[in-house]
Structure 1
Amino acid sequence: MPASRSPWRYLRDRDILHAAVVTALAVLLSAGLVWLGYLIHVCRVAMRSPLAPPRRMIALVFGRQLERDVPGQDYRQRLHRVLTLTQQQHTHHVLLLGGRSGGQRSEAQAGHEWLRQHGLSADVRVELEQESVDSFENLRHARRLLLSQANGTALPPVALVTSRYHLARCLLLARRLGFTALPVAAEPKLPWHGRYLGLLLIESGYLMWTDLGLRWAQLIGHRRMRARIS
């Protein structure tokens, strides 16, 4: 049985619940201005992120919940972007991230099949990370894999390939985990339709929850909370 992807599962964890309460108080006491600030940041990262890294890098491609066991629109855009990066020689090593999200196969498996069907060169090194159910686990498992390949030395720089709305949170988590990471946007430009605006708002909430929780833990010297994202 695959692990739940629902954000409500986090509320069973007292440290994460602690961070959620702190975040809610910050939003209430600021009359929503704190959330607005994070939303502006998410939008800035979304708008300014490039379509390719400045040099050849390992590409970490974030999965997305499958639709009837195949990649949906957002995931296909991410896969199309990394396919373009391989064709333009911006990467020769692709790490597909994502475990099972309720179907018969993992997001990474479905992504790999899509890439092969759409002309991925056999010369590109592709690895699958299939244990994770969220972005933080994606990166933690990717770090473990890359460190094992580097014999425990320094992590190589990576390009984070994902949807524009998702980039700010992925950057925060990656840098917290010790990556030298650069964002690469899946979409040619930032969409401004209703569904996408909703996704930007949700992502700013996730980012706020994570960042304020870490800042609060640092302020009060709560080592266990700080260690949760490390």
Structure 2
Amino acid sequence: MNGLPKTMRRGPWRYLGDGDILVAAGITLLALVGTLGLLYVAHFVRVWRVATRSPVHAKAAQTLLVFGRKLVGGQLEADFVNRLERARTNARDGLTQRVLLLGGRSDGGAVSEAEAGLRWLQGGEWPGNVPVILEQESVDSLENLRHARDLLRIEGSLPSVALVTSRYHLARCLYLAQRLAFDATPVAAEASFPGDYRYIRRMALEAGYLMWIDMGFRWARLTGNQRVVARLS
């Protein structure tokens, strides 16, 4: 796996050497063909609905989980900045007691996504009464949530959380959070749904990822593959 290019050490590509994941990909392809594409359409509609209907404000006193985004030359790109701005707005409005910034070293640099996000927040007017916790070990959304769950469990039972990320990314994060037993609600980074070509393309990719994950989990549960079930439990 270390032989993969840096650009492929993130997201689903890092699992190309994992037999269970490749089996899931094959099952997903068969299901896609067998349903004449309707399976993909159903997942795209799900991504669309979450993207267009999610609020921009968390419920009062929720813990915010802010998903990172791959750094470009050690710098934050626009989607990540939008997520941080949304977290800051909610914190200023008194809608959170604490924030977890999620994300490891995605570009091979010395600074993690979480650390870069913290520096950005500290460069603005961050409310001093809202603590920020860093989760810096993960490289994809599933690991983000698993590590966040471990951090939160240290303090006892899991609190209600708000997932702060880009609208196109929300459906996948919400699905994973629910599988991991979070009481989670989505909070959109963007004030409104952009709807441009770039965004539709991102949503199309997310629908594919979500379909792959969901079919893989269903197949694992059907066949009793506890290795896969444990990853999403």
Structure 1 stretches of 4+ moved >4 Å? none
> Are 2:64 and 1:59 aligned?
yes
CA distance in 2, matches of 1:25, 1:91: 44
Identity of aligned residues (%): 52
| Corresponding residue number in structure 2 for 1:126 | 132
Query: What is the CA-CA distance between 1:6 and the residue it aligns to?
Result: 5.3
| TM-score, normalised with respect to structure 2 | 0.93
Secondary structure of 1:149 counterpart: coil
CA distance in 1, matches of 2:172, 2:159: 20
Q: Give 1:211's aligned amino acid.
A: D
Cα deviation, 1:189-209, whole Å, max 9, x if unaligned, reads 111111111100010111000
Spell out the pairing of 1:1-230 with structure 2 (5 A cutoff). 4-5=9-10, 7-102=12-107, 103-150=109-156, 154-230=157-233
Instruction: Count the aligned residue pairs.
Output: 227
**Cα RMSD after superposing both structures:** 1.5
CA distance in 1, matches of 2:230, 2:72: 34
Structure 1: which 5+ runs fail to align?
none
Q: Give 1:92's aligned amino acid.
A: Q
CA distance in 1, matches of 2:219, 2:211: 12
Structure 2: which 5+ runs fail to align?
none
Q: Give 1:28's aligned amino acid.
A: V
Query: What is the CA-CA distance between 1:54 and the residue it aligns to?
Result: 2.6
Q: 1:189 to 1:137 in 2, by over 3 A?
A: same
CA distance in 2, matches of 1:225, 1:135: 16
CA distance in 2, matches of 1:163, 1:192: 13
Q: Give 1:25's aligned amino acid.
A: L
| TM-score, normalised with respect to structure 1 | 0.95
Cα deviation, 1:43-89, whole Å, max 9, x if unaligned, reads 00111111112322000000000122121000000000000001100
